[in-house]
Amino acid sequence: MQIGMIGLGRMGGNIVRRLMRDGHTAAVWDRDERAVSALVTDGAVGATDIEDLLRKLEAPRVVWVMLPAGAITESTIETLSGLLSAGDIVIDGGNSFWKDDVRRARWLKQRGLHYVDVGTSGGVWGLERGYCMMIGGEKDVVKRLDPIFATLAPGDADVPATPGRGTRDTRPERGYLHAGPSGAGHFVKMIHNGIEYGLMQAYAEGFDILKNANSEALPKEERFNFDLTDIAETWRRGSVITSWLLDLTASALTRDAELGDYTGYVEDSGEGRWTIMAAVDEAVPADVLSAALYARFRSRRDHTFGEKILSAMRAGFGGHIEPKASGSKVEA
């Protein structure tokens, strides 16, 4: 198939490359001309702007937008809606909020256009490993795009299918899913990322406790000298907690067991936040996913104002301001 790609960052560029390697063709555009040139070198048709891109696509056109979620994606889709023709398809492969998908799909439908939301996992490894995709949109439109999804997906990835799937849809066994109508793709991707935060935090806390078990702050007879690198490597085989995230952790610890390159300042994207909002909307307790998000919030502050409130109360009943490094214990 032929695809138009808008946005040639780390994800968009490699998606095009993976498609072309499998015989698909692509016209591409990005604000950064060098990104366009790089893809042209790899075999894509370059465009000078969105209008030019659309001219280079055969009808019905398929345009994949791979831009940061939010204002840029929104305005790009608005621009496309004015330029595309009935029957054309817009794919949003970024990390959009699923309620935005629902809204956009309705609005594009009024113009005779189709909208497909694709939650795309895999990061920088996707080019080789394939992209796990969670797709929302009209059934026949998603089916029409299947050649693209089949190429981008990981395939079986040497993972045996779960026994008993019988005559079920085989796409999940190849790493992609038509999750439901518009918004369903990004909803499932949102939960994927929410879970991801929780998993990461579980490992983080576990390794933190191991690390601090080596601390000189502990009494000598309760102190160990754990080799975190070897522990991570050991758990990769036969343990209950084997995972890809553990593999990545083992790699990082093998390079430097102190993780000295990292400040510990941890970003979050919208999806972890929206997961909490979905839980609250549904009245589902989500203690772990919330705590994982808050640990990231906290990592980005020297101190919270809340902590100063605590210190102020303690001074209020304990009678003195606690010094930065004291061991003062003024609980009353």
The set of catalytic residues is 189, 196
Helix (H) or strand (E) holding 65: strand 62-65
Provide the minimum distance between the beta carbon of 52 and its own copies in the complex, in angstroms, as a whole number: 28
DSSP structure class, residue 321: P
Complex with its own copies: residue 10 or 55, whichever CB lies closer: 10
Residue 191 tokens, joined: 């939960």
Nearer to its own copies, 82 or 238 (CB): 238
Beta carbon nearer to its own copies, 4 or 120? 120
Cβ at position 58, least distance to its own copies in Å: 29
121 bridge partner residues: 132
Of 46 and 154, which CB lies nearer to its own copies in the complex structure?
154
Q: Which residue has the tokens 């343990």?
A: 239
Among candidates 58, 114, 67, which has minimal Cα distance to 86?
114
Confirm if 152 and 19 have CB atoms less than 8 A apart.
yes
Q: How far apart are the C-alpha atoms of 18 and 153, rounded to whole Å?
A: 10
Residue number with CB closer to its own copies (2 or 192) = 192
Our CB check for its own copies shows the closer of 50 and 314 to be 314
Task: State the nearest-atom distance from the C-beta of 293 to its own copies, in Å.
Answer: 7
The full 3-state SS of 102-145, as one line of letters, equals HHHHHHHHHCCCEEEEEEEECHHHHHHHCCEEEEECCHHHHHHC
- Residue closest to 7 by CA, chosen among 42, 39, 51: 39
Least Å distance between CB 15 and its own copies? Answer: 13
- Residue 163 CB, nearest approach to its own copies (Å): 7
Shortest distance in whole angstroms from residue 209 CB to its own copies: 5
Of 60, 86, 61, 85, whose CA–CA distance to 6 is shortest? Answer: 61
Residue 114 bridge partners (DSSP): 89
- CA gap 7, 13 in Å, rounded: 8
Burial status of residue 231 (CB atoms within 10 A of its CB: 0-12, 13-18, 19 or more): middle
**Residues contacting residue 26 through CB under 8 Å, at least 6 positions apart:** 2, 3, 4, 5, 16, 19, 20, 39, 44, 45
